[in-house]
């Protein structure tokens, strides 16, 4: 699914990803999500702000483990996605996705794929204004 046409030669939407957190699983998830975005047919990973439409993904993670034996097993991750559009010739920020997930160390790759699928479903609903034909979001709470 290609959400927008960015340019004649490049049809991938730029995605900037920033991770905040010192926990192990959150860092592993951020790396896995960056790989998923980079391998996507709809998005491309970028580290700089462009001049056209772009997604800004902010991942904030913490370790919920209360004991030493639980450290490095799971993370709670807040995912916020904003987009910048250019109505009336100036950039306008719009947050259109925010969810909190718990990620197990052994499922970071799987969850990164699920989050990317969820992003696609939400973006489809967002640009179509719930007209229909979009996949359902997999991470609760879902809009549809």
pLDDT digits (tens, 9 = 90+) for 60-85: 999 987 666 677 889 999 999 887 76
Beta bridge partners of 99: 79
For 38-66, write each residue's pLDDT tens digit.
999 999 888 765 556 688 899 999 998 76
Query: What distance in Å separates the CA atoms of residue 45 and residue 60, rounded to the nearest whole number?
Result: 18
In this structure, the strands spanning 54-62 and 74-85 are: antiparallel
For residues 103 and 124, which has the higher predicted lDDT (pLDDT)? 103
pLDDT of residue 58: 92
pLDDT of residue 6: 43
Domain 13-127 has CATH 3.40.50: yes
Which residues contact residue 144 at a Cβ distance below 8 angstroms, ignoring those fewer than 6 apart?
A: 125, 130, 134, 136, 137
Specify the pTM. Answer: 0.80
> What is the residue-averaged pLDDT of the chain?
81
Query: How sure is the predictor about 90, in pLDDT bands with cuts at 50, 70 and 90?
Result: low
Half-sphere CA count of 137, side-chain side, radius 13 A? 18
């Amino acid at each position: 699914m290609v959400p927008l046409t960015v340019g004649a030669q490049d049809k991938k939407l730029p995605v900037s990803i920033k991770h905040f957190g010192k926990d192990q699983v959150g860092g592993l998830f951020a790396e896995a999500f960056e790989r998923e975005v980079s391998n996507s047919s709809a998005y491309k990973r970028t580290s700089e702000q462009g001049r056209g439409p772009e997604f800004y993904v902010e991942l904030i993670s913490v370790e919920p483990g209360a004991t030493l034996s639980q450290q490095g097993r799971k993370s709670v991750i807040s995912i916020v996605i904003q987009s910048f559009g250019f109505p009336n010739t100036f950039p306008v920020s719009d947050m259109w996705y925010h969810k909190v997930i718990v990620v197990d160390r052994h499922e970071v790759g799987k969850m990164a794929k699920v989050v990317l699928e969820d992003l696609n479903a939400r973006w489809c609903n967002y640009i179509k204004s719930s007209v229909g034909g979009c996949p359902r979001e997999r991470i609760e709470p879902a809009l549809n």
